[in-house]
Structure 1
C-alpha cells in the first residue's frame, strides 16, 4: 500500500474515532446520540467507499501504464529480433552461396 493510501486511511480512522468519542461524551439524549452515530457511520462508509474507489483507480492506472510499457517493450524486442533474424538469414544465404560455388568446383575436378 502506498504512503498516500496509508495517510488517507489514517485520517479516516482518526476522524471516525474523534467523531464517535465526541458524540458519546456530548450531553445529549440517547436517541439523538444514536441518530448522530448512524449519520457519522454513513458518512464514514461513504468516505471509505470514495477512498477505495480512488485507490482502485490508481491501481488500475498503474497497471494500465505498466501494461502499455510492457507491450511497447515487447514490440521493440520482436522488431529487434526480426532484424537480427534477417541478418542471420542473409549471412546463411551468403555462406550457402559460397559452399555451392565450392561444391561446383569440386564436382568439375
Structure 2
C-alpha cells in the first residue's frame, strides 16, 4: 500500500471516528444521533466504494496498456520505465 493510500485510509478513519464521537456527545436525542450516524456512515461507505471503483478502473486501464504493449513489441520485456514507475506509485 502506498503512502498516499495509507494517508487516505487514516484520514477517513479519523473522520469517521470524529463524526462518531461528535454525534455521541452532541446534545440531541439518541434517535436523532443514530439517524445522523447512520447517514454519515452510509455517505462514507459510498465514498469508499466510489474511490475503489476509480482505482479499479485505473488498474484495468494500466493492465490493458501493458497487455497491448506486450502484444505490439518485438521484445515484450522492453516496457517503458515510466509505465512501471507509474504503476508502482
Kept after mapping to 2: 8 A contact 1:8/1:51: no
Q: Name the structure 2 match of 1:57.
A: 57
Q: Name the structure 2 match of 1:69.
A: 69
Unaligned segments of structure 1, at least 5 residues: 78-109
Equivalent-residue separation in structure 1 for 2:7 and 2:71 (angstroms): 33
Unaligned segments of structure 2, at least 5 residues: 76-89
Equivalent-residue separation in structure 2 for 1:34 and 1:7 (angstroms): 28
Q: RCO higher in 1 or 2 (8 Å CA, sep ≥ 6)?
A: 1
Please give the TM-score of this superposition, normalised by the length of structure 2: 0.72
Kept after mapping to 2: 8 A contact 1:5/1:55: no
Aligned CA RMSD, in angstroms, stands at: 1.6
Q: Name the structure 2 match of 1:80.
A: none
Aligned residues: 75
Q: How does 1:61-100 map to 2 (within 5 A)?
A: 61-73=61-73, 76-77=74-75
Moved over 4 A (4+): none
In the TM superposition, what whole-angstrom CA distance separates every residue of 1:8-67 from its partner, at most 9, and x where no partner exists? 222222211111111111121101101111111111111111111111112112211211
Equivalent-residue separation in structure 2 for 1:4 and 1:51 (angstroms): 13
Q: Name the structure 1 match of 2:23.
A: 23
